Structure 1
Amino acid sequence: MDTSLLLTIGFIHLVALASPGPDLALMLRFSARRRAALGAASGIAAGILVHSLLSLTGISLLIQGQPLLFSLVRLAGAAYLGWLGWGALKASLTPAANRLTAASGLPERGFWAGFSTNLLNPKALVFFIGLLAALVGPEVGWLTRGLLVLELFLLSLLWFLALAWWLSSLKVQARLLAWSRPVNALCGLLFCGVAGSILWLVVGELARS
């Protein structure tokens, strides 16, 4: 077991988790209902689990090595993130209601939204390919690889569960409610911005090929 490798990747992953992105935007969108927020947190962690498994087994590299397949994956992800962004922007134009978002309070709804958002985010795919391919060489045994998958999943789960609990607290919700329209607009712009940057990269690559 390579303890230093586990600590290094764990620290880098924590920094990435704390960075703003589609996962954080989704947590804000579901924060009005705690059960849905906790479901979204679990879904995001499950998506990270799949990314970790795909990267450590080399499947993600195979996908990236097929230009057409990789472009289709990124286009699907951009379309999904764009759809989420459009929904958030529409919500920002409606009068403030009793909740930040009209998303269902069912935890299953939150789970599948979190899972899909993370799994279909091409930038997450590229991040895990870059992180794990750069630091996990062929000499790393399967015990360490298994512990890495477990570490990345547990860190993600604990981080997003804590974030869901905090965002859905009464004090935070009171502040978010007062800023519901700007928050929805910010989430929408973030989703659409990520989707647009992905489309720009794919179109540029296709134009050069």
Structure 2
Amino acid sequence: MLDIHAVAVVFSVYVVGVVIPGPNFVAVAHKAASTNTADALAMVAGIVVVNLFWATCSILGVGIVFATFPWIALAVKLAGAAYLIWFGGRLIVKAGGTSTARVDEGGPTVWQSFRAGIATNIANPKSMAFFAAVFAAAAPAHVNPPTFLAMLATVAVVSSTWYALVAVFFATPRVAARYRHWKKGIDRVCGSVIVALGIRQLVR
């Protein structure tokens, strides 16, 4: 039988967690404003896939795995921090570019954007910490298959809706035009924020 109360608790916790800006938000906003809607939504799809992976691990007990094998948590933490520093640094370096042209809609980079969404989220310390701690605490220790699938559907719908709204908003012509006008400064700020998140992950 479907445990509606458990699903409702997961929904209330996850909504708050997903809307708090982090590397995923920055990556989607940047992709939407600098390329096109299709690429941004492809990145969203990659992020959602990883969210479903983390949610599945969380419900099945990833916190127990990390507690039993702390070296796994450390390896994930270091890899995630390294990727964030690389990604942010790359954004800062490329901010000095002179090109302000936007990639044509339906370009050949959709698959690359999907993979970038996966890489960004799998290395996202905010996601890992949230699902390993907060989400795991909200989900019951043992759930039946219908409740398990309902929880995953909740994660998919909420994350898809939120990040798709972010993508569509930042891909609108007016917002994208403002981004291109202030591209150098915005990219440097976004890159600095991501690098800071990576460094913070290393020293915590």
Same fold, TM exceeding 0.5?
Answer: yes
Runs of 5+ consecutive residues of structure 1 not aligned to the other structure:
202-209
Instruction: Please tell me the root mean square deviation across aligned C-alpha atoms, in Å.
Output: 1.9
Shift of 1:64: 4.2
Identity across the alignment (%): 24
User: For residues 8 and 108 of structure 2, what CA distance do their matches in structure 1 show?
Assistant: 36
One-letter amino acid of the structure 2 residue matched with residue 59 of structure 1:
V
Match of 1:69 in 2: 72
4+ aligned runs moved over 4 Å, structure 1: none
For 2:191, the equivalent position in structure 1 comes to 188
Contact 1:42/1:114, CA 8 A, preserved across alignment: yes
Q: Distance in 1 between matches of 2:66 and 2:149?
A: 21
Separation of aligned partners in 2, 1:59 and 1:18: 23
Structure-2 separation of matches of 1:60 and 1:46: 20
| Equivalent in the alignment of 1:159 | 162
- 1:197 — aligned with what? 200
Q: Give the counterpart of 1:78 among 81, 85, 109.
A: 81
- Change in 2 beyond 3 A, CA 1:133/1:28: closer
1:1-26 CA-to-partner distances (Å, cap 9, x unmatched) read 22233223212222222211100111
Give, in whole Å, the separation in 1 of the partners of 2:94 and 2:29.
13
How many Å apart are 1:121 and its aligned residue?
A: 1.7
Shift of 1:146: 1.9
Q: Which amino acid aligns with 1:77?
A: G
Q: Equivalent residue for 2:131?
A: 128
Q: Aligned equivalents of 1:180 and 1:19: distance in 2?
A: 23
In the TM superposition, 1:35-50 aligns within 5 A as: 35-50=38-53
- The aligned residue for residue 14 of structure 1 is 15
Match of 2:111 in 1: 108
Secondary structure of 1:97's counterpart equals coil
Q: 1:20-59 counterparts in 2 under 5 A? A: 20-31=21-32, 32-59=35-62
C-alpha distance in 2, partners of 1:58/1:86? 34
Count of aligned pairs? 198
Runs (5+) with no aligned partner, structure 2: none
Letter of the 1:145 counterpart: F
Structure 1 contact 76–120 (Cα < 8 Å) conserved: yes
Specify whether residues 138 and 12 from structure 1 end up closer, same or farther in structure 2 by C-alpha distance, changes over 3 A only: closer
Q: In structure 1, what is the Cα distance between the partners aligned to 2:5 and 2:189?
A: 38
Give the C-alpha shift of residue 96 in structure 1.
5.5
Q: What TM-score, normalized by structure 1, do the two folds share?
A: 0.86
1:97 to 77, 92, 100: 100
- Aligned-partner Cα distance in 2 for 1:137–1:188: 37
- Once the two structures are superposed, what CA deviation does each residue of 1:74-128 show, in whole Å capped at 9, x if it has no partner? 101111111100111112233362249xxx8611111111111111223311211
Counterpart Cα distance in 1 of 2:43 and 2:21:
16
